[in-house]
Amino acid sequence: LWGAEHSVAVLPRSETHYHVSLEILNHFHFSNLNLKLICLRLLFLFDYNLNDRLLLVNLETVSHLIFLTGCYSEDFGISCVRRNVARFIEERDGGIACDRENIYITNGATNGLQLILRLFEYGKGPSQTGVLVPVPSYTRFRLMVLEAGGVNVPYYLNEGHSWALDMTEMKRALKCAREHCSPKILYLINPGNPTGQVMSRKTMEGVIKFAAEEKLFLVADEVYQDQVFGDNCSFLSFKKVLFEMGSEYRDNVELVSLNSVSKAYLGECGFRCGYLETINIDPEAITQLRILITSSSFPSISGQIVLDILMKPPQPGEPSYEIFNKEKTFIMNTLARNSKLAVQTINALPGLRCNPIQASMFCYTRLELPSKALEQCKALDLYPGLFYCMQLLEETGIVLDPGTGFGENDGRDHIRYMNRPECFCCLEFQIYPKIVEALEAAEKFSKSLLAQRTPVTN
Ligand SMILES: Cc1ncc(COP(=O)(O)O)c(C=O)c1O
């Protein structure tokens, strides 16, 4: 119970405490507390939006915080939040400089991607702008390309090689695309959704050299950067690799990197906040970007507060560090354990197979249905992946995504499991036994549906 002096009671429903940087709170000056507003906004901020988590602020700052969430922001984001983002990036990249002027706070990564796509002119026929997009990848981006007037140019990730990006395939995709459009943008997701793979430095260097040779604009979607848990693997940003490659690349390759509060250990996707960093971008394009941002709407203050929390988490020695670290470690360990369990369970079933997962929260699974079930799919005019998901939903209440939602139309069938406890299915799985229960139900269902088949081959 906090704030007795102000007659405001806040009852946390979980133990987590987050520390809000005081700079944000001092950014605006307000007076005259209004208790009704305080109550309403505390409820709004603490009870609903922070998803059971609690901001640890002292009473002095609570009043500022409350009023702060209801005001306008600077167009490119609150300047101290942009500065904290820049510091986070510098620390992440081992000291490579980051200027806050190159940081733009966005309404989530989706909005950042839309802004970048809108910097290009699209045209028609052979001059129509093409965007190289990984397959599998999540649907929304491909829709954004269409909405912008561009052409999606798929490059297929290599399932047989743990979903690695394959430069031979990338070159093939570009060559084919040049027969009907003009590819200018290369979109990369690292760590991957839905594949959960983490790119190696060697792969990233290959991509950067390719972009330099082919004059492609790189868009690095790095929203899962804080969600890496695979053995012996860690996240490297495209910026870091680029800056360690020599000046012909470091000073020339155009790169935009995106991050978001929607993922990582926070997972606060409802706040709609993220940022983009521009590197080597043409000054005219920057002017255009600034016009686009200024003419649209800035992210909410509460979203920017959450972003600030992600960028500047409690440090050792600070009051909330211990409890914050405990919760973060718990979340990361849970993800790692759930993904191992899911991979193990799935790979023991006939007709299903998935690669080990290094990051993010999905388990992208290859599906081969037995002939009887395939006949049913045909009769119902359903893709096998969709058929499997619908049957599973009806029989167990578990929701999975069919692979068709990830751009696959080459005859392979997949389904996507989610490993994050609360996302695994419709139910809220906060605790380990629940995910075990869900996997057991999925296992039982899969066994009965897939029993008569032989193991999947590549
Ligand atoms: C790779 C990737 N990028 C971006 C997004 C969207 O992020 P945001 O919620 O910040 O718009 C998602 C959401 O699933 C994603 O998987």
How confident is the model at residue 419, as a pLDDT? 53
Q: Distance between the two ends of the chain, CA-based, in angstroms? A: 58
Distance 58 CA to ligand 1 centre (A): 33
Cβ–ligand 1 distance for 138 under 6 Å, the answer yes
Nearest Cα neighbor of 117 from 285, 294, 345 is 285
| Domain extent listing, the chain | 4-71, 79-311, 322-450
pLDDT reported for residue 89:
98
pLDDT band for position 349 (cuts 50, 70, 90): confident
Residue 40's pLDDT is what? 38
pTM of the model: 0.84
With beta carbons less than 8 A apart as the criterion, state whether 43 and 337 touch: no
Considering only the C-alpha atoms of the chain, give the largest distance between any 2 of them, rounded to a whole number of Å. Answer: 72
Would you say residue 146 has pLDDT above 60? yes
Q: Write the pLDDT tens digit of every residue in 276-291.
A: 999 999 999 999 999 9
Residue 61: CB atoms within 10 Å: 18
Q: What is the number of other CB atoms lying within 10 angstroms of the CB of residue 275? A: 29
Give the pLDDT confidence of 350-373 residue by residue, as tens digits: 888 889 999 988 888 888 888 888
Q: Whose CA is nearest to atom 4 of ligand 1?
A: 109
pLDDT digit string (tens) for 414-448?
776 655 443 333 222 333 455 677 777 778 887 77
Q: Does ligand 1 have an atom closer than 6 angstroms to the CB of 189?
A: yes
DSSP H helices, 312-370, are 321-347
Give 293-339 pLDDT, tens digit per residue.
999 888 888 788 788 878 887 788 876 678 778 878 887 888 888 88
pLDDT band at 200 (very low <50, low <70, confident <90, very high): very high
Full DSSP string of 188-214: EESS-TTT-----HHHHHHHHHHHHHH
**Does 50 have pLDDT greater than 80?**
no
Mean pLDDT of 110-116: 97
Q: What is the pLDDT of residue 435?
A: 63
Q: Which two tokens stand for residue 361?
A: 């929260």
269 lines ligand 1 (CB under 6 A): yes
Q: Are 360 and 196 in contact (CB under 8 A)?
A: yes
Whether CATH 3.40.50.2000 fits 322-450: no
Could you check whether the bond before residue 421 is cis, i.e. omega within 30 degrees of 0? no
Given a cut of 60, is residue 17 above it in pLDDT? Answer: no
> Which residues does 136 contact at the CB level (< 8 Å), separation at least 6?
157, 194, 195, 364, 403, 406, 407, 408, 414
Please compute the mean of the pLDDT values over residues 215-223 and round it to a whole number.
98
Residue identified by tokens 């690095």 is: 220
Query: Does any ligand 1 atom lie closer than 6 A to the CB of residue 227?
Result: no
Confidence of residue 16 (pLDDT cuts 50, 70, 90): very low
- Mean pLDDT, to the nearest integer, of 35-63? 39
**Rounded CA separation 146/135 (Å):** 16
Q: For the chain, give the number of residues.
A: 458
**Percent residues over pLDDT 90 in the chain:** 44
76: which residues sit within 8 A by CB, 6+ positions away?
82, 103, 104, 105, 290, 293, 298
- The dotted CATH code for 79-311 is 3.40.640.10
